[in-house]
């Protein structure tokens, strides 16, 4: 006879499930079991083999008797088919109880690395800051997202060698804030001008020591909430501002219009307050930044891209969602708490209130 024995090594029980024949010669299935699932061992004195297969009791009990009759009257054929089926579903040579319960559902914690969230309930991933708001879709449709537009260009650069002759009182931001991510747009051609900006000789962020220290405090606070800083620009030489001025006076150059200023006349960007002829960045204590998930690096959705000239980029705009507003306010609250003041037209722009050089504009290169 062909018998399928259920072995419960943990519970100490022994249950049998066997195939036999009824009075009409039909294949039958009988079983005794008091638990929902276990590993099964198939034995056949005739065939002379033992085999271990993993199956749930309810799956065996659910087999249709008609299906068993259709296997035919030939015991060898039945054995061959059943053996092949079990071979495909075998799960090892040891016997143990298999649980039918689902693992506990856990909610991801932004302060835990992704590998610690295995089995966590799926939650929507943070939307990159380049994702346009529904109200902006018609105007803003870049071919590349803000978060990866510069990746290939930056990766193709030779290893970074920092210039150690910074003016007194200036530091590299990433040396004060190691967790900060840098995406220095003006070092690349992915910016509103469409080319690398004068004075940007390296993709680094430079700040006054006072601004960097205050920004470190911001970073520490937000890191405890699962975020890291994403810096787009910091100190900006005056020669870069002069480059912006030349660009604004060339009405024929509109190659980046659909991405950065679809509804704005470029000749009016200074008058409208999106760019300044004397920038706070040139004093060394102003920073353009956003937030990313500290584990994945995915940018937080702020409702509009960095350097987008339009009403949607202003604090308090009604053109973004409540969640996007909350994200902006999270950054704003931390920046204000640690001594920075926001710029109303640009959610990314902050200047240290007690800046050390309030009336001095620098022009050394970013290198």
Strand, helix or coil at 114?
A: helix
Strand, helix or coil at 216?
A: helix
Which two tokens mark 24?
A: 């009409």
Q: Tell whether 281 is in a known binding site.
A: yes
Which two tokens mark 215?
A: 């920004």
Outline where DSSP puts E strands in the chain.
Answer: 3-7, 14-21, 27-31, 37-44, 49-56, 170-172, 181-182, 206-208, 227-233, 286-293, 340-343, 346-352
* DSSP annotation of 56: E
Strand, helix or coil at 66?
A: helix
* DSSP annotation of 131: S
Measured CA to CA, the distance from residue 126 to residue 72 in angstroms comes to: 58
Is 346 annotated as catalytic? yes
Q: Tell whether 288 is in a known binding site.
A: yes
Residue 267 CB partners (closer than 8 Å, separation 6+): 248, 249, 251
Q: Tell whether 315 is in a known binding site.
A: no
322-337 and 209-223 are packed helices; what angle lies between their axes, rounded to 10 degrees?
A: 130
Tell me which of 263, 346, 355, 367 is the catalytic residue: 346
Measured CA to CA, the distance from residue 179 to residue 219 in angstroms comes to: 8
Which residues are annotated as part of the binding site for Zn(2+)?
281, 288, 349
Which residues are annotated as part of the binding site?
281, 288, 349
Catalytic residues: 346
């Amino acid at each position: 006879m062909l018998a399928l024995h259920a072995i419960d090594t943990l519970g100490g029980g022994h249950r049998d499930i066997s195939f036999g024949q009824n009075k009409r010669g039909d294949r039958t299935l009988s079983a005794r079991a008091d638990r929902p699932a276990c590993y099964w061992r198939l034995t056949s004195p005739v065939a002379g083999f033992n085999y271990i297969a993993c199956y749930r009791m309810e799956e065996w009990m659910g087999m249709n008797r008609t299906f068993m009759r259709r296997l035919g009257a030939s015991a060898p054929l039945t054995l061959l088919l059943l053996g092949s089926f079990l071979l495909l579903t075998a799960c090892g040579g040891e016997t143990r109880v298999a649980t039918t319960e689902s693992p506990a559902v856990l909610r991801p914690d932004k302060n835990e690395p992704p590998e610690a969230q295995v089995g966590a309930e799926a939650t929507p991933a943070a939307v990159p800051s380049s994702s346009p708001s529904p109200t902006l879709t018609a105007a803003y449709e870049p071919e590349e997202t803000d978060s990866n537009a510069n990746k290939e260009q930056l990766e193709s650069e030779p290893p970074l060698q920092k210039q150690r002759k910074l003016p007194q009182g200036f530091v590299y931001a990433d040396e004060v804030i190691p967790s900060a991510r840098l995406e220095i747009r003006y070092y690349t051609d992915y910016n509103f001008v469409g080319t690398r900006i004068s004075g940007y000789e390296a993709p680094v962020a430079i700040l006054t020591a006072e601004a960097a220290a205050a920004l470190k405090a911001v970073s520490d606070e937000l890191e405890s909430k699962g975020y890291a800083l994403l810096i787009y620009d910091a100190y900006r030489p005056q020669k870069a501002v002069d480059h912006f001025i030349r660009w604004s006076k060339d009405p024929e150059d509109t190659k980046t219009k659909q991405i950065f200023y679809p509804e704005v006349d470029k000749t009016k960007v200074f008058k409208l307050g999106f760019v300044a002829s004397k920038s706070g960045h040139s004093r060394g204590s102003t920073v353009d930044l956003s937030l990313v998930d500290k584990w994945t690096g995915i940018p937080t959705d702020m409702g509009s891209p960095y350097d987008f000239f339009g009403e949607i980029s202003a604090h308090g705009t009604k053109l973004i969602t409540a969640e996007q507003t909350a994200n902006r306010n999270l950054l704003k609250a931390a920046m204000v708490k640690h001594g920075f003041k926001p710029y109303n037209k640009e959610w990314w722009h902050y200047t240290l209130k007690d800046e050390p050089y309030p009336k001095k504009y620098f022009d050394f290169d970013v290198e």
